[in-house]
Amino acid sequence: MALQTAPGRTATPAVTRSVPQPTWRGRLFRFETRAAPYLYVSPFFLLFFAFGLFPLVWTAWISFNEFTLGSPMTFVGLDNYRWLFSSPEFYNSLWRTITIGILSTVPQLLLALGLAHLLNYQMVVRNFFRISMLMPYATSVAASTLVFAQLFGRDAGFVNWVLSWFGVDAVDWRNGDLTAQIAIAVIVTWRWTGYNALIYLAGMQSIPRDLYEAAAIDGASKWQQFRHVTLPGLRPTILFTVVVSTIGATQLFGEPLLFGNGQANGGAMNQYQTLGLFMYQQGWEYFNLGRAATVAWVTFVLVVALVLLNTGIARWRTREGKAAR
């Protein structure tokens, strides 16, 4: 039957299209498309929640309790934090952590930068030197610390033997204040310099060679190329190594513990007791896990503050550099 719409015209009947019903394969494909990204990243987040976030939250809860091994927890509020910020031992360990961190981080990064600059040149057996840089990093903390403890021995140590050539009396490295910190800083520097050098080397090789060629055409010396081409190009890499080294210095534990023959007091005068050793002493020598958790949380906040400070300084220097151009 024809439909009447307008005079002289006949409307065609409406064509109804049937929508195909999705098959189970189509539903499965759409589900896989939507769920696959979440499934791929879920192992990381599961591990992070289990071994990162949960211990962090649980440690925060313990820090508000008096908790010793073998006894129930008792909520004490901020008492552990009041004890910590009135404890001279805490400020001593904080100061030792800062001094050892400076003594180890600054020479370490400067040496790494120089070594990376040398390795960036074409030289014979360059790959051998690059691989050799990782050898200290591959050495365990225990092995390297025990060897350096022998080298820094007072009576038969190699370092005192070398100093005796120049008429210097034997130095009691372990029992001295600054000398013990220098010895630990040398161990840390030896282990991490090669690792940072390879990071710097990778950053240097990402800098376009055209910049060096243009600088050479303009008459720039090697030192000027290093200052005005290499260092600006390495700025993000340097920031990364500074942040990582700062975090590592804040968590320094194994080297001072083994250098002191396994004692957590950091020497007879606590001259090299870091925050890590102080936390270990509270938790596993005095068995006061509530106070140890408090030290851990304050250390965590300190690390976050230092990272934010480093990042802020780096961004400020970047803005200053762009404004000066």
- Other CB atoms within 10 Å distance of the CB of residue 254: 18
185: pLDDT strictly greater than 90: yes
Predicted pLDDT of residue 1: 42
d(CA 169, CA 90): 34
The C-alpha angle with vertex 163 and arms to 161 and 166, in degrees rounded to 5, equals: 120
Across the range 278-301, mean pLDDT stands at: 93
pLDDT band at 87 (very low <50, low <70, confident <90, very high): very high
Secondary structure letter of residue 207 according to DSSP: S
pLDDT band at 2 (very low <50, low <70, confident <90, very high): very low
- Positive or negative, the CA dihedral 231, 234, 239, 243 is negative
3: pLDDT strictly greater than 50: no
Comparing 20-24, 31-35, 165-169, 306-310, the range with the smallest average pLDDT is 20-24
Burial class of 163 by CB neighbour count within 10 A (0 to 12, 13 to 18, 19+): middle
Q: Which amino acid is at 313?
A: I
Residue bearing the bigger pLDDT, 128 or 61: 61
d(CA 265, CA 172): 18
Of the candidates 92, 81, 103, 80, the one whose C-alpha atom is nearest the C-alpha of residue 180 is 103
H helices present in 226-285, as ranges? 231-233, 235-250, 254-259, 275-280
Give the rounded percent of residues in the chain with a pLDDT score beyond 90. Answer: 34
